[in-house]
Amino acid sequence: MASEFSLENEQLRNAYMGVLLNLIMTLCQSPKELTMDDLNKADRTVLDLTKAGFKLHWLRQKLDEAFQKEEKKREIRAQIRLLEEKATKRKLSLSDLESDLKKQKAAALAAETLPFDFSDIV
């Protein structure tokens, strides 16, 4: 990793090491805290550090795993939204059915309690 990385300019070397440290700290965050934006920035940073001579294949693997987990989380959230939408539609449909049922029961009760008129008998 950094052991094979050598620069004569100590300030530049320290800057690269600081970037690497920040990258590692970012990736050590809880998966709940990491955003896709964080992962994209980390991806660009790994590319930059690799171009500068760092051997970061191990970090690339971890970053790829983090991308896969984030994608899986997105898929699951999309499925949850879809199921919630279906549940809401079914609840509304059930509410409509219950309303129709109440109306029919009220109509049936009204029909049962109507008194006969004399003309109905004759």
Q: Tell me how far CA of residue 43 lies from CA of 4, 63, 65, 118, in angstroms.
A: 21, 7, 12, 90
pLDDT, tens digit (0-9, with 9 covering 90-100), for 20-79: 999 999 989 888 888 999 999 999 999 999 998 889 999 999 999 999 999 999 999 999
For residues 18 and 49, the answer to whether their CB atoms sit within 8 Å is: no
Runs of H (alpha helix) within the chain: 10-27, 36-51, 57-113, 118-121
Question: pTM surpassing 0.95?
Answer: no
Closest residue by Cα to residue 19 from 37, 46, 39: 46
- The span from the CA of 1 to the CA of 52, in Å, is 12
